[in-house]
Amino acid sequence: MEYLPLFVDLRSRKVVLVGGGDVAARKAELLLRANAALVIIAPALNSALQQLCEQQYFTWIEGEYHPQHIEKSYLVIAATDDAELNKKIFHDAEKQQIFVNVVDDKPLCSFIVPSIIDRDPVVIAISSGGTAPVLARLLREKLETMLPSYLGHMAEIAGRWREKVKSSISSMRERKRFWEKSFSGHFASLVEKGQLSQAELQLEKQLYEPDNTGELVLVGAGPGDAGLLTLKGLQVLQNADVVLYDHLVSDEVLELVRRDADKICVGKRAKAHSVLQEETNALIVTFASQGKKVVRLKGGDPFVFGRGGEELQIAAEAGIPFQVVPGITAAIGATAYAGIPLTHREHSQSVTFITGHCKEGGNELDWPALARGNQTLAIYMGTVKAEHISQQLIHFGRSPETPIAVIGCGTRQNQHVLSGKLYELAELAHQAPAPALLVIGEVAALHQQLAWFGDQVEKNRWRSAVLELA
């Protein structure tokens, strides 16, 4: 180990930074976040540093560097573009036994600044020992996606409660279990939701009245492409004990679930219900009652034709804490990947999301309103009733020539887009791979011009070339 990792308290300590350019500005921002008594030496400052100086965030010595400037300083950083000056600063600091860092010059560094993940008071530092700073930055970016922003708040609260927990639980092993349960349980969820006072009440409850109730989290998995899963959704999947998922969730997204979590398919398909909704509800209550963190992973968004509201009602009635992590719904994701804007100033002033699979005995759709022009209809689960949909829309006045698109397996590598007219909807829906989204409206015709994802792009280019030759 070439460098010993240290966390240094710089509060109100003199730190000298030589340089007034962009690099110096980045270093200054970091030092000010650590509340250092910053002194900057430079003939001139860039605009960012000038603004900070006007707000008196640091002391500026306007002019050239002299060795006496670094006397009694705690750290020195050289960030100039003058190699000889940087070398002089290094040797001056070494003579005074002051830690010094010359930016981007490892041999002239007695300390190095790592890549930092800041969840104050939780701080994570990553270093390659100055050999590959870009690699350290890439590692930091990967870890950033795994560490939720609320960690700092959680650590702050835990710090205030540390002595109280210590006095109440004498066994070190039991204290460890207490904090492990807190940091992965309902206390953490309350902090995540910004309910900090309730979080402290939860800690108190766990301390004096142990509670084994678990939690339900509804997570939208998006339409298929794992890259469209939200950062928060990924973090929740990494902490799940049980994941109840449906058929619309792609294998790529399921690969992101914590390895030791139980994964149970509770999917439903039209005319082939593998798991009744009542059975899913029962599983949610059963697992949560066992103290487990249950993730209900749904394709798209859980609140857009995903029965998410119904499942939350069950959790609420059972006294199970819950939260929701939204996802990119199919109408947003699939149309974007197909190059079909849902609204367009020239073609569509509104968009309506519709389900083609209503609850039995439910209200019939308002066909006269849906048949009006200059609007886009995005229809979920509509392939089975595609013929009825087209007939009703044409009957109530929508032109049979209205452009349509049927997007199968939207956002996935096997995405397939079929374009046509409204009178062809049933035929195209029958050909499309499942799951499929129906798009009706003038904007659907823009797919030929705006397609950018998958092999559909090449097909459209070929089609355009044929039309030009014709």
Q: So which residues are the catalytic ones?
A: 246, 268
100 belongs to an annotated ligand binding site: no
329 belongs to an annotated ligand binding site: yes
Q: Are 12 and 42 in contact (CB under 8 A)?
A: no
63 belongs to an annotated ligand binding site: no
Q: What is the separation of C-alpha 87 from the centre of its chain, rounded to a whole number of angstroms?
A: 43
Q: Are 448 and 369 in contact (CB under 8 A)?
A: no
Burial of 303 (C-beta count, 10 Å sphere; 0-12/13-18/19+): middle
Q: What share of the chain is helix, strand, coil (3-state, %, to 5)?
A: 40, 20, 40
223 belongs to an annotated ligand binding site: yes
Q: Are 291 and 214 in contact (CB under 8 A)?
A: yes
Q: What is the separation of C-alpha 347 from the centre of its chain, rounded to a whole number of angstroms?
A: 32
43 belongs to an annotated ligand binding site: yes
DSSP letter, residue 271: T
- Rounded-to-10 torsion of CA 335, 340, 342, 345: 170
- How far apart CA 223 and CA 300 sit, in angstroms, is 5
Sheet with 376-380, side-by-side order of all strands: 351-355, 376-380, 436-440, 403-408, 416-421
330 belongs to an annotated ligand binding site: yes
410 belongs to an annotated ligand binding site: yes
If DSSP states are collapsed to H, E and C, what string results for 274-331? Answer: CCCHHHHHHHHHHHHHCCCEEEEEECECCCCCCCHHHHHHHHHHCCCCEEEECCCCHH
Three-state DSSP at 224 gives coil
Q: What radius of gyration do the chain's Cα atoms show? A: 30
Three-state DSSP at 140 gives helix
300 belongs to an annotated ligand binding site: yes
Sheet with 293-298, side-by-side order of all strands: 262-265, 242-245, 293-298, 215-220, 322-325
Residue 268 pairs in a beta bridge with 273
HSE, side-chain direction, 13 A CA sphere, residue 393: 30
- How far apart CA 224 and CA 380 sit, in angstroms, is 15
DSSP letter, residue 247: T
301 belongs to an annotated ligand binding site: yes
Residue ranges at the known binding site for NAD(+): 22-23, 43-44
Residue ranges at the known binding site for S-adenosyl-L-methionine: 223, 299-301, 304, 329-330, 381, 410
Residue ranges at the known binding site: 22-23, 43-44, 223, 299-301, 304, 329-330, 381, 410
